């Protein structure tokens, strides 16, 4: 038996600092056991034997019961961190009762009172009436409170989530004295990647009210109306909550309306959609086009436009409608396309490589007519394809011979080009078109000669300032002008400089990146949504109306075709698949959290810039896009392992001798990671912040430190995992190596490095195969102690780094600086 | 619920003031009563059932309650009887604790329930100090209608290992609260 004193004796002195003073009669092992038993009991995974043991401890020791009750307190507080709210609501109801008593007549105007009194005889006002009202309210309080005790408070859980992640705009609070029995709308789901538009006036709420404005930049949220109707809003989106629906100002949503929610209405900038019992989706794009698709049941659409007037169109399952100011197009509801328009990505296919469908480097003096056709002055040379602009209205075009429909499978188009011979009268411009017609349209200037209909992304210079402008536009009809969105702030186009444009079009969402071909760090990306369904689906490249543009390479690739979606549940399931993948990674990283440790650095790299308080850089490190890119690609996709390597370094020096360091995170290699000698990723600890100088590859890494290296290209040798020690600039000792059968299809891994000052362990795992961990350990020999932690890739094959956490094991519990506590377990044994 | 039809068997108070008193006392003491029942019936469904039953009995017997005396002690006494009745009805978790344990727990739980509850802000500050992933996980555990088995399935882990993770987080929270609270709790 493990108790120190006889059971049920003595009172305990209260202490808030001394370890376990409250449970003095129990020793550490029993407390640890009680912890386990209590948690298993509350999680309902306890075995009979364990329950018997818990009963024995609780029966024998007063301190054990006290401990158990403390656990219950935590459990209860967690469940009712909303208890406050519960009381507030109860008090509000009490206040309301008082008001009812004070004012017999005025309460008849209150909706709740009206409802309660509706079946009373008109002459029975007075005490009888009050008592019915108060009784009913009390009954509601009792029953509702009781029924929701354990079902408490989705809202509060979400409250914290919403509070943590962002804010929902609440323009005005409910008027004082108004009793809110149930929120009209709840925020019932927030995806883990949700980001909200920051706004100083925001307040965190999850019980939404009509008038609340939701500006979602990233992720998905689900609203549940008090009728049970659910609405999934997918970022980027702006949505104004209404009691039975809302206004979708931009973005996409899918909704599943219950019987009680009939009449649910989604307004768009140019019309509205009214439910007649259904599941339907609505998207509003960036060019003022609205679209509704009906998955189940029936809706009424009310398009409104300058030229279409006010219409009412009834749509049934499988039907859709698209409209803008000028035109209305009936559609067969293309659910896959609709999914593409509202879902940010295709979970599960993230790692599936797209297939190259067309590639041309234009090295032949004859254009391959099996691939291409042209309009205007386009000439093939041995150094590229020249698009020569003669005059406005006669722009040169290179057009694919075959159509590429992005709504069938998303397209990625890469084009390298340069402007040649810029003269004073020449305005450089280059455009890439998808969903495009192959014929010129008949619109008036300045769109005369532009292809009849298309989505068009262009890079040009501002005629006034000469600065670079990126534009995305859509031309819906042959005789209509192009509707454009412009972004400024990019470098002005320069002659004879190789540029690279990458355009991605999934049938609705378009992203467009312009960069310097040889320095991709100089780049700008813009995104937009267009619901326009191409009348034809050619891909085209448009040269400037004046001057010469030379195309040097074009590559068109297609994503795998995606499985269909047909119901609200399918959307949710697709989102939850993405969420499951994220959860799997989070779980693995969480499992790697060492006990009794302090999280000393945590960065998910959501900020557009690198956090200078945490990090420094050596070489090419790029922030943005929710991750860090270590290193740059190059045009030839060549990897050189001897060139100086890029490093992300902690700003602070860390001493693993003072507490074991555990460094975890997620990496993704670039597509070329197996080319040549192959890419690598390493974590260096106890490192300095200078690379070596000299001809050997050892000088490409930091001058000193312990280096845990993952080199998947070495899969057929014994060096996939390596631990090096670099005590001085010119000395490199290989402490351990390990072979690893890396899967060429897998580029994403989670890593963990543990350095306790005496030894280093590197663990690598593919998160989709969590049971197959690869591990290598080595004892270190040098006297290296304090140093930076550095994350390294190699030249020519960037590694994306994310979710970095660095933990340090707490100093011994005897240390005066660490407050003792009754509940902390003993420090873990050092890892072998 | 159809608001104008009183549930069968419930008294209709002729004195609305008395009703107001009940509502006030019940709502004030509700969290501690909840805590008391959770201590005796640690699985959520049983406790939820019993608190509903208890609330109705309290209401029925409120006429016998003397204003000015300890409402919580009175309510706990009735709740304890309801727990015993629940046992008699043979609900599954009735057998989680031996009778002797239940008796001892009931005594200590009343004492604990009559002390002021630790401020919720302390828990919230301890939650805020957790790493984000841990905070999310423990919050997820206490979402309505969620169970460890269900979350484990979502996360693709066993219920045992999820409980272990939750146990670690709870240990951290308890340690944090221990440090922050100067009062007995």
The secondary structure of A2-68 as a DSSP string is: --SS-TT-S-----SSSTTGGGTTS-HHHHHHHHHHHHHHHTT---HHHHHHHHHHHHH-HHHHHHH
Tokens of A501: 């444009």
Q: What is the pLDDT of residues B35-84, one digit of tens each?
A: 899 899 887 667 777 887 788 788 788 888 888 888 899 999 999 988 88
Quick check: B144 and A154 CB within 8 A?
yes
Q: What is the pLDDT of residues A538-571, one digit of tens each?
A: 999 999 988 899 999 999 988 776 555 555 565 5
Q: What is the pLDDT of residues A523-547, one digit of tens each?
A: 888 888 888 888 889 999 999 988 8
Q: Is A607 on the interface with B (CB under 8 A)?
A: no
Residue A605 has pLDDT above 90, yes or no: no
Q: Return d(Cα B83, Cα A379) in angstroms, integer.
A: 90
Strand, coil or helix: A467? coil
Q: Which of A230, A244, A140, A128 is nearest to A189 (CA)?
A: A230
Residue B44 parent element (H or E): helix B44-61
Distances (CA, A) of A683 to A82, A149, A782: 43, 49, 17
Q: Return d(Cα A218, Cα A344) in angstroms, integer.
A: 9
Tokens of A604: 């998910």
Q: Return d(Cα A305, Cα A112) in angstroms, integer.
A: 41
Tokens of B75: 């309510």
Q: How many CB atoms lie within 10 A of CB A43?
A: 23
Quick check: B139 and A823 CB within 8 A?
no
Q: Return d(Cα A398, Cα A387) in angstroms, integer.
A: 8
pTM of the predicted model, to two decimals? 0.46
The topology (CATH level 3) of B120-184 is Arc Repressor Mutant, subunit A (1.10.10)
Output the pLDDT for position A102: 42
Report chain A's terminal Cα–Cα distance, integer Å: 32
Residue A588 parent element (H or E): helix A568-591
Residue A143 has pLDDT above 60, yes or no: no
Chain A residue numbers touching B157 (CB-CB < 8 A): 587
Task: State which residue of chain A sits closest to B51, comparing Cα positions.
Answer: A146
Q: Return phi, psi of residue A618, to 5°.
A: -135, 115
Q: What is the pLDDT of residues A685-705, one digit of tens each?
A: 999 999 877 767 778 899 999
Q: Return d(Cα A149, Cα A76) in angstroms, integer.
A: 10
Q: Any bridge partners for residue A320, and if so which?
A: A293, A331
Tokens of A511: 């992203």
B34, B135, B137, B151, best to mutate vs chain A, most A CBs in 10 Å: B34
Cis peptide before A446 (omega within 30 of 0): yes
Residue B149 parent element (H or E): helix B148-155
Q: Return d(Cα A175, Cα A184) in angstroms, integer.
A: 15
Q: Residues of B numbered 90-109 whose beta carbons fall under 8 angstroms of chain A's beta carbons: which are they?
A: 96-98, 100-101, 104-105, 108-109
Mean predicted lDDT score pLDDT of chain A: 76
Q: How confident is the model at residue A81 (pLDDT cuts 50, 70, 90)?
A: low
Chain B residue numbers touching A65 (CB-CB < 8 A): 104-105, 108
Cβ(A152)–Cβ(B23) below 8 Å: no
Output the pLDDT for position A240: 92
Output the pLDDT for position A114: 28
Chain B residue numbers touching A139 (CB-CB < 8 A): 1, 3, 6-7, 10
Q: Residues of B numbered 20-49 whose beta carbons fall under 8 angstroms of chain A's beta carbons: which are they?
A: 20, 22-24, 26-28, 30-31, 34-35, 38-39, 42-45, 47-48
State the burial class of residue A114 (Cβ atoms within 10 Å of its Cβ: 0-12, 13-18, 19+): exposed
Q: Return d(Cα A552, Cα A162) in angstroms, integer.
A: 49
Q: Residues of A numbered 90-119 whose beta carbons fall under 8 angstroms of chain B's beta carbons: which are they?
A: 90-91, 93-94, 97-98, 101, 115-116, 118-119
Name the residue facing B3 among A86, A115, A595 (closest C-beta): A115
Chain B residue numbers touching A206 (CB-CB < 8 A): none
Q: What is the pLDDT of residues A487-534, one digit of tens each?
A: 887 788 888 899 999 999 988 889 898 988 877 767 888 888 888 888
A627: which DSSP letter? S
Right CATH number for B16-114 from 3.40.35, 1.10.3470, 3.90.228, 1.10.1740? 1.10.1740
Q: How many helices (H) and strands (E) does chain A have?
A: 9, 44
| Minimum mean pLDDT range among A265-269, A290-294, A560-564, B73-77 | A560-564
Output the pLDDT for position A736: 92
Tokens of A492: 């002005």
- Which residue shows structure tokens 């519990």? A813
Quick check: A77 and B120 CB within 8 A?
yes
**Secondary structure string (H, E, C) spanning A230-281:** EEEEEEEEEEEEECCEEEEEEEEEEEECCHHHCCCEEEECCEEEEEEEEEEE
Cβ(A539)–Cβ(A437) below 8 Å: no
Which range of A116-130, A133-147, A349-363, A521-535 scores highest in mean pLDDT? It is A521-535
Strand, coil or helix: A580? helix
Buried b (16+ CB within 10 A) or exposed e, B119-139: bbebbeebbeebbebbbbbbb
CA angle, residues B17, B19, B23, in degrees to nearest 5: 120
- Domain positions in chain B are 16-114, 120-184
Quick check: A134 and B16 CB within 8 A?
yes
Q: Return d(Cα A418, Cα A30) in angstroms, integer.
A: 74
Quick check: A822 and B162 CB within 8 A?
no
Tokens of A177: 């004295």
Q: Residues of B numbered 139-178 whose beta carbons fall under 8 angstroms of chain A's beta carbons: which are they?
A: 139-145, 147-149, 154-157, 159-160, 162-168, 170-178
Chain B residue numbers touching A121 (CB-CB < 8 A): none
Quick check: A83 and B120 CB within 8 A?
yes
Q: Return d(Cα A557, Cα A251) in angstroms, integer.
A: 26
Q: Return d(Cα A675, Cα A800) in angstroms, integer.
A: 17
Strand, coil or helix: A634? coil
Q: Return d(Cα A208, Cα A218) in angstroms, integer.
A: 19
């Amino acid at each position: 038996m493990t108790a120190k004193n006889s059971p049920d004796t003595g009172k305990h002195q209260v202490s808030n600092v001394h370890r376990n003073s409250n449970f003095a009669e129990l020793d550490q092992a029993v407390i640890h056991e009680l912890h386990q038993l209590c948690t298993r009991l509350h999680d309902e995974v306890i075995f009979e034997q364990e329950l018997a043991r818990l009963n024995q401890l609780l029966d024998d020791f007063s301190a054990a019961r006290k401990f158990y009750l403390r656990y219950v307190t935590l459990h209860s507080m967690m469940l009712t961190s909303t208890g406050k709210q519960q009381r507030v609501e109860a008090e509000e109801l009490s206040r309301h009762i008082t008001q009812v008593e004070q004012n017999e007549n005025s309460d008849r105007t209150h909706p709740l009172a009206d409802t309660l009194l509706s079946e009373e005889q008109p002459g029975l006002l007075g005490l009888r009436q009050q008592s019915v009202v108060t009784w009913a309210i009390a009954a509601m309080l009792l029953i509702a409170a009781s029924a929701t005790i354990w079902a408490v408070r989705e809202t509060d859980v979400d409250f914290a989530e919403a509070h943590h992640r962002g804010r929902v705009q609440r323009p005005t609070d409910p008027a004082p004295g108004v009793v809110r029995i149930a929120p009209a709308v709840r925020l019932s789901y927030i995806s883990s990647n949700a980001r909200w538009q920051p706004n100083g006036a925001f307040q965190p709420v999850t019980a939404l009210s009509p008038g609340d404005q939701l500006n979602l930049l990233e992720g998905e949220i689900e609203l549940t109306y008090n009728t049970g109707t659910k609405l999934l809003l997918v970022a980027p989106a702006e949505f104004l909550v209404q009691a039975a629906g809302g206004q979708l100002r931009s973005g996409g949503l899918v909704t599943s309306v219950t019987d009680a929610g009939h009449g649910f209405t989604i307004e768009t900038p140019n019309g509205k959609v009214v439910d007649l019992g259904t599941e339907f989706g609505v998207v509003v794009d960036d060019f003022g086009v609205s679209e509704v698709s009906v998955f189940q049941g029936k809706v009424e659409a009310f398009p409104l436009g300058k030229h279409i007037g006010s219409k009412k169109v009834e749509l049934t399952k499988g039907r859709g409608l698209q409209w803008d100011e000028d035109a209305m197009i009936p559609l067969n509801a293309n659910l896959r396309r609709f999914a593409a328009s509202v879902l940010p990505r295709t979970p599960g296919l993230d790692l599936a490589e797209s297939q190259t469908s067309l590639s041309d480097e234009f090295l032949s003096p004859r254009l391959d007519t099996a691939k291409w056709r042209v309009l205007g002055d386009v000439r093939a040379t041995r150094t590229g394809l020249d698009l020569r602009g003669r005059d406005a209205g006669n722009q040169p075009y290179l057009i694919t011979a075959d159509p590429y429909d992005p709504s069938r499978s998303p397209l990625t188009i890469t084009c390298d080009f340069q402007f040649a011979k810029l003269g004073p009268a020449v305005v450089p411009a280059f455009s890439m078109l998808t969903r495009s017609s192959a014929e010129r349209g008949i619109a008036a200037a300045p769109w005369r000669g532009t292809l009849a209909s298309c989505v068009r992304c262009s890079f040009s210079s501002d005629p006034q300032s000469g600065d670079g402008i990126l534009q995305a536009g859509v031309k819906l009809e042959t005789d209509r002008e192009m509707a454009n969105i412009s972004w400024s702030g990019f470098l002005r186009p320069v002659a004879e400089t190789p540029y690279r444009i990458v355009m991605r079009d999934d049938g609705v969402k378009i992203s467009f990146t312009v960069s310097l071909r040889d320095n991709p760090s100089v780049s700008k990306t813009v995104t937009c949504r267009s619901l326009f369904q191409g009348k034809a689906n050619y891909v085209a490249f448009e040269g400037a109306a004046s001057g010469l543009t030379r195309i040097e390479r074009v590559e068109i690739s297609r994503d795998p075709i995606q499985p269909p979606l047909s119901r609200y549940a399918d959307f949710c399931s697709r989102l939850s698949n993405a969420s499951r993948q994220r959860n799997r990674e989070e779980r693995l990283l969480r499992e790697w959290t060492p006990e009794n440790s302090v999280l000393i650095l945590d960065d998910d790299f959501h900020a557009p810039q690198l956090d200078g308080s945490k990090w420094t850089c050596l070489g090419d490190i790029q922030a943005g896009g929710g991750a860090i890119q270590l290193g740059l690609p190059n045009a030839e996709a060549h990897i050189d392992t001897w060139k100086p390597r890029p490093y992300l370094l902690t700003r602070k020096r860390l001493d693993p001798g003072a507490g074991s360091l555990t460094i975890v995170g997620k990496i993704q290699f670039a597509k070329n990671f197996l080319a040549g000698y192959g890419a690598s990723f390493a974590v260096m600890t106890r490192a300095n912040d200078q690379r070596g100088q000299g001809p050997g590859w050892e000088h490409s890494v930091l001058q000193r430190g312990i280096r845990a290296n993952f080199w998947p290209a070495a899969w057929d040798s014994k060096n996939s995992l390596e631990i090096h020690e670099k005590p001085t600039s010119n000395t490199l000792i290989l402490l351990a190596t390990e072979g690893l059968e890396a899967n060429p299809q897998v580029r994403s891994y989670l890593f963990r490095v543990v350095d306790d000052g005496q030894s280093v362990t590197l663990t690598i795992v593919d998160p989709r195969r969590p049971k197959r961990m690869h591990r290598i350990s080595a004892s270190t020999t040098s006297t290296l102690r304090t140093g930076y932690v550095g994350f390294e890739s190699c030249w020519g094959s960037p590694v994306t780094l994310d979710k970095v956490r660095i933990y340090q094991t707490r100093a011994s519990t005897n240390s005066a600086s660490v407050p003792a506590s009754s509940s902390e377990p003993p420090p873990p044994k050092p890892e072998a | 619920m159809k608001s104008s039809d009183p549930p069968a068997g419930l008294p209709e108070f002729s004195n609305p003031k008395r009703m107001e008193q009940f509502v006030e006392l019940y709502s004030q003491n509700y969290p501690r009563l909840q805590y008391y029942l959770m201590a005796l019936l640690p699985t959520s469904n049983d406790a939820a059932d019993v608190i509903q039953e208890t609330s109705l009995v309290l209401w029925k017997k409120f006429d016998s309650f003397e204003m000015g005396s300890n409402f919580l002690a009175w309510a706990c006494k009735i709740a304890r009887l309801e727990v015993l009745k629940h046992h008699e009805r043979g609900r599954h978790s009735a057998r989680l604790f031996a009778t002797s344990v239940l008796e001892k727990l009931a005594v200590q739980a009343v004492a604990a329930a009559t002390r002021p509850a630790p401020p919720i802000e302390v828990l919230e500050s301890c939650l805020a100090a957790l790493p984000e992933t841990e905070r999310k996980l423990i919050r997820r555990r206490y979402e309505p209608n969620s169970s460890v088995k269900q979350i484990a399935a979502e996360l693709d882990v066993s219920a045992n290992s999820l409980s272990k993770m939750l146990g670690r987080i709870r240990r951290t929270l308890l340690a944090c609260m221990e440090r922050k609270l100067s009062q007995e709790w």
